[in-house]
Amino acid sequence: MSRSFFGVTTTMTIHKDYEPITWDGATAAACRQLWQLAMAEDLGGGLDWTTTALIAETDQGSAAVVARQAGVVAGMRSIPLLLETIPADVRWDAHVDDGAVVGAGHIVGELSGSARDLLQLERSLLNLLGRLCGIASLTRRYVEAVQGTGARVYDTRKTTPGWRRLEKFAVGCGGGCNHRLGLYDGVLIKDNHLAIGQQRVSGPVIDPAQAVVQARAFVNAHLSPHEAARILIEIELDDLAPLKSTLAAGPDIVLLDNMSCEQLRTAVAVRDRVARHVQLEASGGVSLSTVRQIAETGVDRISVGALTHSAISLDLALEWSYSRST
């Protein structure tokens, strides 16, 4: 089937996957916490001395939120929550929705009301909105780079502490897919899990195939059949030697870490012979200059930590129209 990510269309096969992060109650709650922290950082329970000294309590103003560079918008739904958090005598008029592509100079929304409140929220608003727009914009570049290959671009848990839901929401706004939200959200057997198992003084040494079987049995024993069916079992491999036996053990996803494109193509060929239903995910050092080559190997998924840990905030500004009350 085909799926459109804010104007970018990709072709994909339906697989079991993680739920995308949407703007739901949990995302809004995470946003409120960030706004509270942001305003505490700026006001610290005290006064904005500059604004209070120079701006009358009755002064009014308005400001347009302007994108100084082209990009993808994310975080528009967070602004009403900021106005509730202060609380601010300010009105917000959004001109675009999350996921919109805007050019330099585009007004994404307008604020109007108390000049004091506008000045106090300015930096926090631009910080959060710029960060989320930057993630969405970088994600869009990766999604466009792999368009037509069938590969999907995923985020990781390499997120800013406290920002995870919002950053993953921004990835979705850019057309990317969300990997697991937390450790509770699925099974991902990594090299360190296997390394610790192999260092045991007593007990069985776990190889990748055994680890998949053990994880599946544990999930089935502790969850209802319906709940167990929703848990993805993924395992990381850093060489191809155990791939065939690992595929036969029945994971949902095999993560191929830091492999060359030649190795990835070999892995795809083995997977297609042994277990076509298992998804292959490439990760490790993925960049905009390499992601297309990786996608063309035939892997299903490409996880990119850079979407969140290396995104540069989109340059946004408040352009003011100030009027003193009479």
* Maximum C-alpha span of the chain: 83
Q: φ, ψ for residue 76 (rounded to 5)?
A: -60, -35
Contact 233, 215 (CB under 8 A): yes
Helix (H) or strand (E) run with residue 141 in it: helix 115-145
Whole-model pTM: value is 0.92
Pick from 149, 171, 191, 176: nearest CA to 294: 149
Measured CA to CA, the distance from residue 194 to residue 196 in angstroms comes to: 5
| Active-site residue list | 123, 158, 190, 236, 257
In whole angstroms, how far apart are CA 186 and each of 18, 60, 180, 183, 230? 8, 50, 7, 7, 9
Cα angle, residue 299 at apex, residues 295 and 300 outer, rounded to 5°: 100
pLDDT tens-place values along the chain, 326 residues long: 444 434 444 444 457 899 999 999 999 999 999 999 999 999 987 889 999 999 999 999 999 999 999 999 999 999 999 999 889 999 999 999 999 999 999 999 999 999 999 999 999 999 999 999 999 999 999 999 999 999 999 999 999 999 999 999 999 999 999 999 999 999 999 988 888 766 655 555 579 999 999 999 999 999 999 999 999 999 999 999 999 999 999 999 999 999 999 999 999 999 999 999 999 999 998 999 999 999 999 999 999 999 999 999 999 999 998 666 64
All structural domains of the chain: 20-142+312-323 (3.90.1170.20), 149-309 (3.20.20.70)
